[in-house]
């Protein structure tokens, strides 16, 4: 921002102009936004705002989750809402409204976007009212829903695979790792560190030397014995995508796989895997072909990654019990 000689006290119309100018300098693909504080939905990104003194902003006292919109439907929203509400309870946040109402607001905001494919992210905040630590006296929790284009990753992540590193940042203690709060500093740092090293992402390792997770994705391995092994969910986020894939993966047992296990995965063992997978709502399933500059397996994307990706794609389009129609 240029240094100005005069600092004006702005009128509300000037504030709006500034917010619009900010968005025109940096276009975003945010299509619709619900805010309990605004009492409705806005579609102009300049108006997608939250008061600075909401404790989610200045103390990180908030939780969030993200679900996918696929061809006019919301995929696996109940699993995401389970985790969202669990995270809110652990964070001692008051629920802004009953679950059914949250689901309804999410679906109606999705409809207001007019889009059929994209991402839905929603937050519960502690609310505004002070710059202190515990929620301000009389603070009303905030509920926000953003319908947007989703995080984009290079096609090469799927076609050629990713390269990752063991992060130098410590893994979150279990209580915070299993809670999807807006405190994402370690998650931001792990990805920045990897990018600065010319790599795609990082991997957290726990104090016992077992594999944890990546920045905003889980990791899993196909071991030499062709068992799919996934780290236990007691010290990492229970990824909705991983949970679903662990189920779907049973369809590969007897073919590409010999079994599916959720267990501790020691790093030394993981490095000998045939395949390493990155899993999450945004990336779906992508093969990791190199870890700390060493190839995983033969250093090429493997068949299990491709098969799981197909199974998930099929589930996201056809699993009627996991799809909610968006009420356009
Ligand atoms: C830290 C972390 N781990 C794993 C995941 C994967 O979870 P999901 O499959 O629900 O997207 C996410 C994304 O939400 C995450 O932020």
Q: Which atom of ligand 1 is nearest to the CA of 236?
A: 3
Q: What is the pLDDT of residues 239-262, one digit of tens each?
A: 999 999 999 999 999 999 999 999
- Predicted confidence band of residue 122 (pLDDT cuts 50, 70, 90): very high
In the chain, the N- to C-terminal Cα span, in Å, equals 41
The answer to whether the CB of 220 falls within 8 A of the CB of 279 is: yes
The whole-number pLDDT of residue 240 equals 98
The active-site residue out of 73, 115, 172, 180 is: 180
Residue 269 pLDDT exceeds 80: yes
Closest C-alpha to ligand 1, atom 5: 217
Residue 2 pLDDT exceeds 70: no
Cβ neighbors of 152 (< 8 A, separation 6 or more) are: none
The whole-number pLDDT of residue 6 equals 85
Ligand 1 and 206: CB distance under 6 A? no
CA distance 67 to 221: 24
**Could you tell me where the DSSP H helices lie in 129-209?**
156-159, 174-177, 185-196
CB count in 10 Å sphere of residue 114: 12
Q: What is the pLDDT of residues 26-81, one digit of tens each?
A: 989 999 999 999 999 999 999 999 999 999 999 999 999 999 999 999 999 999 99
Q: Which residues pair with 124 in a beta bridge?
A: 63, 143
Closest C-alpha to ligand 1, atom 4: 217
CA distance 232 to 246: 12
pTM for this predicted structure: 0.96
Q: What is the pLDDT of residues 76-119, one digit of tens each?
A: 999 999 999 999 999 999 999 999 999 999 999 999 999 999 99
Tokens 């905040």 locate to: 125
Q: What is the pLDDT of residues 190-240, one digit of tens each?
A: 999 999 999 999 999 999 999 999 999 999 999 999 999 999 999 999 999
Ligand 1 and 212: CB distance under 6 A? no
- Best residue among 65, 189, 218 to mutate for probing ligand 1, ranked by most atoms within 8 Å of CB: 218
Q: What is the radius of gyration, based on Cα positions, of the chain?
A: 21
Centre of ligand 1 to C-alpha 2, Å, is 38
CA angle 114, 117, 119 (to 5 degrees): 100
Ligand 1 and 187: CB distance under 6 A? yes
The answer to whether the CB of 70 falls within 8 A of the CB of 284 is: no
The answer to whether the CB of 66 falls within 8 A of the CB of 121 is: yes
The whole-number pLDDT of residue 181 equals 98
Ligand 1 and 216: CB distance under 6 A? yes
Residue 1 pLDDT exceeds 90: no
Q: Which atom of ligand 1 is nearest to the CA of 65?
A: 14
The answer to whether the CB of 277 falls within 8 A of the CB of 308 is: yes
Centre of ligand 1 to C-alpha 252, Å, is 23
Tokens 């009303």 locate to: 140
The whole-number pLDDT of residue 4 equals 61
Among this protein's residues, is 180 annotated catalytic?
yes
- The fraction of the chain above a pLDDT of 70, given in percent, is 98
């Amino acid at each position: 921002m240029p240094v100005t000689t005069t600092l004006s006290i702005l009128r509300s119309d000037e504030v709006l102009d500034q917010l619009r100018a900010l968005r025109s300098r940096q276009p975003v693909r945010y299509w619709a936004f619900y805010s309990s504080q605004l009492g409705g939905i806005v579609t102009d990104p300049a108006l997608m705002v939250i008061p600075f003194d909401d404790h989610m902003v200045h103390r990180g006292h908030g939780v969030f989750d993200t679900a996918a919109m696929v061809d006019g439907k919301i995929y696996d929203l109940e699993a995401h809402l389970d985790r969202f509400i669990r995270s809110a309870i652990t964070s001692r946040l008051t629920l802004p409204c009953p679950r059914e109402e949250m689901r309804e607001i999410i679906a109606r905001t999705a409809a207001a976007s007019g889009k059929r494919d994209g991402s839905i992210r929603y937050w519960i905040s502690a609310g505004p009212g002070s710059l202190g630590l515990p929620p301000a006296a009389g603070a009303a929790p905030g509920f926000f829903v953003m319908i947007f284009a989703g995080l984009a990753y290079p096609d090469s992540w799927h076609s050629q695979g990713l390269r990752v590193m063991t992060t130098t940042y410590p893994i979150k203690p279990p209580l915070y790792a299993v809670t999807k709060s807006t405190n994402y500093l370690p998650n931001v740092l792990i990805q920045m560190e990897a990018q600065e090293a010319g790599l795609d992402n990082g991997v957290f390792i726990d104090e016992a030397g077992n594999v944890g997770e990546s920045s905003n994705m889980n990791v899993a391995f196909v071991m030499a014995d062709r068992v799919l092994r996934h780290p236990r969910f007691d010290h990492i986020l229970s990824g909705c995508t991983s949970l679903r894939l662990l189920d779907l993966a049973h369809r590969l047992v007897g073919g590409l796989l010999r079994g599916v296990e959720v267990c501790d995965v020691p790093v030394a063992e993981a490095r000998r895997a045939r395949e390493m997978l990155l899993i999450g709502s945004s990336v779906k399933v992508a093969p990791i072909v190199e870890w700390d500059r060493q190839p995983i397996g033969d250093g090429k994307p493997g068949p299990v990654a491709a098969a799981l990706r197909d199974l998930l794609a099929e589930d996201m389009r056809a699993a009627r019990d996991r799809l909610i129609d968006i009420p356009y």
